[in-house]
Structure 1
């Protein structure tokens, strides 16, 4: 599924979009200009914005500034987005990622998902079939690891399964996590 096939009837919560501006510290004016070119003139955290405009903004950021900035935006999401209460571990945060995603999007139609599948004490798989860039999703996972560091772990390793990628037309991306 390509990014353009996701529903145009879905909106994204402004606090989530705010991550785009916050993560681009030195490039805030650029972020604001990119959002404005897609009809998001004055970003208001409590407002909802059409998903196609938000996705188009992410694609422009990825193209103009690069994957590191897109990853930084993903890393900023857990600080800005709404998450379910009671999360106190990496596993719970990853398992609740789809629920948090849905709390920050509303409307009818396909928005994709995050599917967390533990595969052992220090291994898991995350399948992402949402319209956001790969680097964005990886940034979110890194931020959740930093926020809820698992015991007996020094770092998170994320390996992108090379057999399929949304950026190359696949329906989803699969990431193998080790910590």
Structure 2
């Protein structure tokens, strides 16, 4: 099910949340209002939300924000927010192609979240904390295709946007389609599958 945290006390890095404002493009004040309504950030004099890029903010509040955006403005905007993530979030070094991009997405996801005050991916020990789900990576043999099974609390459309932006960074013709055989989180399922082809 989307927009319900798997665990309490999870936080998201402030720089990553800038994607909400970026997803609204010319309507950044509206994106800011959704964040502010959930107690995320502070209002700056120009009406935009002010987020500390190195600060940490409640995942629960962020998911409530996404829920409201989805209900009031639809999946298209959630997809745009997901597509803005690669411009804002911290990603591991060394990504050179579409396979690296999708394979390391789960590490990046955990790098931008923390639990009990600790970032959920430690590069020195390569230890990953559980509590936010995962982005899968499964190449389809003999095809220019990857299957990604996502079991995160984020909206389906958001994840599709994130996968699209990551794939198109390294293969401009990449397309992401929802696997209709998986029980979608929008339909109260616990995961969604996506095919990335190029």
Match of 2:146 in 1: 124
Query: Where does structure 2 lack aligned partners over 5 or more consecutive residues?
Result: 43-50, 117-129
Query: Quick one: which of 53, 56, 60 aligns to 2:68?
Result: 60
State the match for 1:40 in structure 2: 40
CA contact (8 A) 2:81 2:158 kept: yes
* Alpha-carbon offset, residue 29 of structure 1: 1.2
Q: Which residue of structure 2 lines up, in the alignment, with residue 99 of structure 1?
A: 107
**Alpha-carbon contact 1:159-1:177 (below 8 Å) kept:** no
- Of 127-136 and 24-33, the range deviating more from structure 2: 24-33
SS in 2 for 1:87: coil
Matches within 5 A, 1:70-81: 70-81=78-89
Q: Decide whether the 8 Å contact of 1:161 with 1:176 is kept in 2.
A: no
Find the counterpart in structure 2 of residue 176 from structure 1.
Answer: 195
The answer to whether the 8 Å contact 1:8/1:50 transfers is: no
Instruction: Report runs of 4+ in structure 1 exceeding 3 Å deviation.
Output: none
TM-score calculated relative to the size of structure 1: 0.91
**Cα displacement (A) at 1:4:** 2.5
What is the CA RMSD across the aligned residues, in angstroms?
A: 1.7
Distance 1:65 1:3, change over 3 A: closer
Aligned to 1:19: 19
Report how far residue 58 of structure 1 moved.
Answer: 1.0
> Residue 27 of structure 1 aligns to a residue in which SS?
helix
| Post-superposition offset of 1:2 | 5.4
Asked whether the 8 Å contact 2:2–2:156 carries over to 1, the reply is no
Partner of 2:179: 160
Could you say if the C-alpha distance between residues 10 and 157 of structure 1 is closer, same or farther in structure 2, counting changes exceeding 3 Å?
closer
CA 49–157 in structure 1, closer or farther in 2 if over 3 Å, else same: closer
Q: 5+ residue gaps in structure 1?
A: none
The aligned length equals 176
Confirm whether residue 145 of structure 1 aligns to residue 164 of structure 2: no
Cα–Cα, structure 1 residues 93 and 28, in superposed 2: closer, same or farther, change >3 Å? same
Listed one character per residue, the Cα deviations across residues 56-94 of structure 1 (whole Å, up to 9, x for unaligned) are 111111112221111111111001000000001011000
